[in-house]
Amino acid sequence: MKKKVLTAAVAAMITLTTGVVMANPVDIDGSVSYRYRADSSNGANEKNGSITRFTLNAKSQVAKNLSVYARFAAEGLSDPNVGPDFSGGKSFIGEIDQFGLLYNNAGFTYKLGQQAPVIGGLGLFYDASGYLGKQDMGVADGINIKGKSGVTSLDFLAVQENNKGAVDNKIYSVRASYNPTKALTLGATLAQYKAAENTNYYGADASYADGKATYMGEYAKSDANDNNKGYAVGLSYAPDSKNTVWVYNYKVQANADIAHMTTFDSGKKGFYYGADHSFTKDTAFHIFYTDRQKLADNVKDTSFRATVSYNF
């Protein structure tokens, strides 16, 4: 799949359907959030400041089972180094960073275009969902197919990185999962990263819901010569409909994930702690804290984040 060909094809299809979009309703939703973040390394403050994020999603049906989608994203930082989710080192940036086509048929959904992939049950292999911007932060061009065949849910991905440089590596993955019981989900993932040296990945994940608690875990391994294993195990507990607390323990060696884009921290081990409270169905407060350590040199660091979010 050639990046220029794919981009041109998607752009042409969107252009051809512009008149239809203008004549059809456009579904709009989005979110805005304000976050305070404080990071430290070996006990010394490194980065303290605020992050304001805004996303606006648009989708319009242009034919039977076919829609176009796009996302506008913006981010403002009190300091360019305070945990940016955009690349570029700017205090403020905004752009259309996702766009393409959505097709639904026979229980399967096909997403073709620029998107933020997630690979694995917990995103242990790859997770670009939290990043913004059309280049360098995990956004990729390609296709994602999701659906169910019999009792098995399938998630297939074939994409190419969208980097500012000349090298845009390719990522392929498939995850299959099923529910032997209503409470238990079992999954398995195979993936390949086609770069200067091709790397193959495989792993398994599981989750189990027991009343107000949910237990989760994922294991990943690659065929790299060393530092090729990773895991994450977690527990979430929801005492009521408005509150959830959770904790994860993880260890991800440097070659266990794809392009260092794991949900967790590539080349580190540690804990994630979090709590979420819903004021209303649209407004929430989130607390996140991580205490972690680099595997290469044992340097420790922490990060605290408090976020207020509103979805519309």
Strands 283-294 and 300-311 turn out to be: antiparallel
User: Taking the model in full, what pTM does it have?
Assistant: 0.89
Residue 88's pLDDT is 66
HEC string of the chain? CCHHHHHHHHHHHHHHCHHHHHHCCCEEEEEEEEEEEEEEECCEEEEEEEEEEEEEEEEEEEECCEEEEEEEEEEEECCCCCCCCCCCCCCEEEEEEEEEEEEEECCEEEEEEEECCEECCCCCCEECCCCCCCCCCCCEEEEEEEEEECCEEEEEEEEEECCCCCCCCEEEEEEEEECCCCCEEEEEEEEEEECCCCEEEEEEEEEEEECCEEEEEEEEEECCCCCCEEEEEEEEEEEECCEEEEEEEEEECCCCCCCCCCCCCCCEEEEEEEEEEECCCCEEEEEEEEEEEECCCCCEEEEEEEEEEEEC
Match domain 3-311 to its CATH number in 2.40.30.10, 3.40.630.10, 2.40.160.10, 3.40.50.2300: 2.40.160.10
**Would you write out the chain's pLDDT as a tens digit for each of its 312 residues?**
444 444 444 444 445 444 555 568 999 999 999 999 999 987 676 779 999 999 999 999 999 999 999 999 999 999 887 877 777 667 898 999 999 999 999 999 999 999 999 999 999 999 999 999 888 778 899 999 999 999 999 999 999 998 887 788 999 999 999 999 999 999 999 999 999 899 999 999 999 999 999 999 999 999 999 999 999 999 999 999 999 999 999 999 999 999 999 999 999 999 999 999 999 999 999 999 999 999 999 999 999 999 999 999
Going by C-alpha positions, the residue among 112, 95, 94 that lies closest to residue 156 is: 112
Residue 93's pLDDT is 87
Residue 43's pLDDT is 66
